Amino acid sequence: MMALAIIASSRLPLEAQNTSVTGVVKSAAGEPVSGALVKVSSQEERIEFMVVTQAQGRYSTPNLLPGKYTIQAFGGTHQSPSADPIELRRGRQGKTDVVLSALLQISPREKRMTDAAEYEKLMPVSEDGIQHVIAGICSECHSLEWILSARKTPEKWQETLDRMGVKVIGNRRALSPLVRPQREHEDPLMMKYFSKHFTPGVPQDPRVVKQWLLRKGGPSHPNRNLPPTLLTGAAAKYFAMEFSLPAGSAPHDIAVDSQGIAWVSERNPGMLGRFDPNSLAYGRMASPPGAYPEFQLNAVAVDPQDQIWCVDDGPNARILQYDPKSREFNSYPIPEYRWPVPEIGWARIQTLGFLKGQVWAAGKTSDRIIRLDPKTRRFTHYPLPRISVPFGLAISSGMVWYSAQVGNAVMKLDPSTSRLTPFIVPTLRSGLRGMAADGEGNLWVAALESGKLVNVDRTGNITEYSPPTEDPGPFAVAVDAKRNLIWFSEVFSDRIARFDPSTSTFVEFPHPSADSDVRRIEVDRSHPNRVWWSSPRNDKIGYMEVMD
């Protein structure tokens, strides 16, 4: 860790270097082009900035590290040809004009299948018609894609039936302990169907595979996410930065401390990363040894005292605390949990939160909320209705809130009484994911499947807002509490969007790269115009900064 600190500190602050690139973007006819996107990237430094041309087609990058950079512009239906890199020297400005003289041909984004009837048509036909029964039961809570893309042994399918066998009463599932219905006749037929069509070795329907790839970004043009027209208005007032981590890092989450330093949980290698935007330097700290050699870092968060907390969701099953000053870890093993039923896999903690010096976590696969008191090292478990699948977590007005992904509800947990209060989202199978609380105590939730931004206000009223882009895939949510602006990631359209509740207006900002699959964002407290993101699919982190 000392070596990493020395490497990071060897670079001079970028503010003192004044190394940047400026220029003008023109059309093939020689006219200046405003609202075009310019990418300035360095393979050596593993960094890329994307800026928007302003009046008279002029662009200017933030301060850069010295080195070689490639420059390419994109504007509507045209782009500039590939060019040789330019050399930037320390403390000097480079100047490069580019011309949009080549066609940019990108196929339109394919529409995902979201209706259960569409997926039902892809289910293998059975003489007894059991596929229709399965479609009717399973689509009450989730997409049939979950079944069509699954390959499990008969034993695992039986576990799934036991776990998913719930009593559905209208849309009030997951509001009380769930009771398995009487399905003695249907269950054997379901097992026979699953064992025949959805076990290992049975090829997947290529149409289903294609849909899965669409969710993940899919094989496509590297710039497929760029807008087909020039940017105007508020959408043109931003720039973006992305930084490439070592291959295989899979940065699951990102959090920002009070100094604007970004902290990253590298999922598979079990590394805690630290990115300094002032020096563009990245350092890595290895997780402390556990009982098992495998690590799986998921959620990461920074508490009010600038302590870094992350979750090792692998077999070690622990919450880790890192002190940036002492550079030491503290480990809190999570005790085994077996009520009301034995653990099904591990908790898969997606989100961390803080309330009165205590750490809160949402256990996605174990249907529980967890509280850790660091002073006593004691854990408290709050069991939830089975198959709630708590995903997002937020703290507001002394209450703990979570989004029930399958339960299709925003739930309020009173820590003093353990009482749960549900707020049912009107759109069925919304696919609730990340959530955050604003400065006025309102809750904001991303609905992946319905493509909406959901608001639960202080009085319990629920409003759903539709972003400008159709089916954008809202996933992560963060709030600029100073101005009460709501930010969320769009994983299907590769954008980060901003919503202003005072005017009910959206602005969408494209990512520098396609297939970003951003699952976590956070507003920088020290720079409220800056929103950080992490991309486990692309092994990248970065931020977008609005120029108000």
Q: What is the mean pLDDT of residues 9-28?
A: 77
User: Is the same domain home to 175 and 87?
Assistant: no
Question: Are 147 and 181 members of one domain?
Answer: yes
Residues 61 and 140 in one domain: no
In a domain, residue 233? The reply is no
Residues 163, 49: one domain? no
Q: For residue 146, what pLDDT is reported?
A: 78
Which pLDDT score, from 0 to 100, does residue 245 have? Answer: 96
**Section 160-174 average pLDDT:** 49
> What's the CA gap between 296 and 282, in Å, rounded?
20
Burial of 56 (0-12, 13-18, 19+ CB in 10 A): exposed
Q: Are residues 357 and 441 in the same domain?
A: yes
Residue-averaged pLDDT of the chain: 86
Does some domain include residue 333? yes
Structural domain including 533 reads: 326-546
The helix or strand, by DSSP H or E, that contains position 164, with its residue range, turns out to be helix 154-164
Strands 530-535 and 67-75: unpaired
40 occurs within a structural domain: yes
Tell which wins on pLDDT, 136 or 194.
Answer: 194
Please check whether residue 223 is in contact with residue 74, taking contact to mean a CB–CB distance below 8 angstroms: yes
Q: Which residue has the higher pLDDT, 79 or 225?
A: 79
pLDDT band at 412 (very low <50, low <70, confident <90, very high): very high
Please report whether residue 459 resides in a domain: yes
Q: Structurally, how many domains does the chain consist of?
A: 3
Residue 268 pLDDT class (50, 70, 90 cuts): confident
Same domain, 76 and 169: no
Instruction: Say which CATH number the domain at 435 has.
Output: 2.130.10.10
Residue 50: inside a domain: yes
Question: Quick one: which of 377, 375, 408, 373 has its CA closest to 390?
Answer: 408
pTM for this one? 0.86
Same domain, 360 and 389: yes
Q: Is the pLDDT of residue 183 over 80?
A: no
State mean pLDDT over 362-381: 91
More confident: 378 or 127: 378
How large a percentage of the chain has pLDDT more than 90? 61
pLDDT in tens, 470-509: 999 999 999 998 899 999 999 988 999 999 999 999 999 9
Residues 441 and 373 in one domain: yes
Q: Do 72 and 121 sit in the same domain of this protein?
A: no
Considering 164, 194, 216, which residue would you say is the last residue of a domain? 216
The domain boundary residue, chosen from 216, 249, 272:
216
For residues 349 and 205, state if they share a domain.
Answer: no
**Per-residue pLDDT band at 164 (split at 50, 70, 90):** low
Is 26 part of a structural domain of the chain?
Answer: yes
Beta bridge pairs of residue 395: 400
282 found inside a domain: no
Is the pLDDT score of 450 beyond 90?
Answer: yes
Mean pLDDT lowest among 185-189, 387-391, 432-436 = 185-189
Q: What pLDDT shows up at residue 233?
A: 96
Within a domain: 42: yes
What is the 8-class DSSP label of residue 488?
A: E
Residue 28 vs residues 38, 95, 231, 282, 371: alpha-carbon distances, Å: 16, 19, 18, 40, 61
Q: What is the pLDDT of residue 517?
A: 86
Of 50, 81, 103, the residue that ends a domain is 103
Same domain, 65 and 157: no
Instruction: Note the pLDDT of residue 138.
Output: 79
Would you place residue 514 in the very low, low, confident or very high pLDDT band (cuts 50, 70, 90)?
confident
Lowest mean pLDDT among 24-38, 150-164, 335-349, 501-515: 335-349
Residues 205 and 337 in one domain: no
